[in-house]
Amino acid sequence: MKDAFLYALGVITLIIIGIDIQRIAALPPEAAQGTIFKIIFFHVPVAITAMLCSCVALLGSVLFLITKNFKYDALAVSVTEVGLAFLAANLVTGSIWGRIIWGVWWAWDARLTSALICWLLYAGYLMLRRAIEEPTQRATFAAVFSIFAFLDVPIVFFSIKWWRTQHPQPVFWGGGSFPPDWTRVFLWQMLAMALLAILMVSVRLREEESQREIDSLRRMAHSF
């Protein structure tokens, strides 16, 4: 992607985030939980963004195995890395919310445990890539591992429906609702996180391009 587009995307994202922070600060505290509830405006959008990243990683991995085109492998690794950062932010914000509401930093319930396993699986994916030198073998093994890792994503998503968990039911499909102005802020924050992820993935894709250039230059250097 062109530099100008990336800079424009960055500026738009920063503006939306800035406006969102102002709007979130202006909202009144929630009746039962108080101010800490506002963490939901960060905790949930980063979780949804991380899940979208894992869906794109699955798509990239499957497409790589079918076509053997390295641009899909580059996409898979880029979204996985960005998704991992977002999932880490999700786990940390959730833990801090839990300390206030549950009185503990961590509970081994189905949602939290499956999300942690998901993070570990995708971290394993990145470690696996570092362990294999040969590019085709690395991309193939990584794609298979990514498909395997994705099996945990539906478990994370539906865990609060399938089991009785300490984690609260979702606001939107768990019978709850937000006031309209809260929903608006939430959706804007969702957009901001998605744009931030797109920006990060675009930058990360460039690194993959550079890495491929290095690989080809090394091959040329060896052939002399």
Partner 1 sequence: MALFLLQTADDVAREIGRLQRNYEFLSYGLTAAWIILFAYVMMMLARQKRLKREIANLRAMLDEKR
Residues that bind partner 1 (CB under 8 A): 29, 33-36, 38-39, 42-43, 46, 81-82, 85-86, 88-89, 92-93, 96-97, 99-100, 196, 200, 203-204, 206-207, 210-211, 213-214, 217-218, 220-221, 224
Task: State the nearest-atom distance from the C-beta of 96 to partner 1, in Å.
Answer: 4
Collapsing DSSP states into helix, strand and coil, what is residue 95? helix
Task: State the nearest-atom distance from the C-beta of 161 to partner 1, in Å.
Answer: 25
Region class of 68: left (phi > 0), else alpha (psi between -120 and 50), else beta: left
Task: State the nearest-atom distance from the C-beta of 206 to partner 1, in Å.
Answer: 7
Neighbours of 86 (CB within 10 A): 23
Q: What is the DSSP string of 41-83?
A: HHHHHHHHHHHHHHHHHHHHHHHHHHH--HHHHHHHHHHHHHH
| 175/223 with CB nearer partner 1 | 223
CA 172 to chain centre: 20
| 82/149 with CB nearer partner 1 | 82
Task: State the nearest-atom distance from the C-beta of 134 to partner 1, in Å.
Answer: 19
| 116/147 with CB nearer partner 1 | 116
- The first and second tokens of residue 22, run together, are 């102002």
Task: State the nearest-atom distance from the C-beta of 92 to partner 1, in Å.
Answer: 5
- Tokens 């768990």: give the residue: 174
| 71/206 with CB nearer partner 1 | 206
Angle between helices 135-150 and 70-101 (to 10 degrees): 40
| 46/118 with CB nearer partner 1 | 46
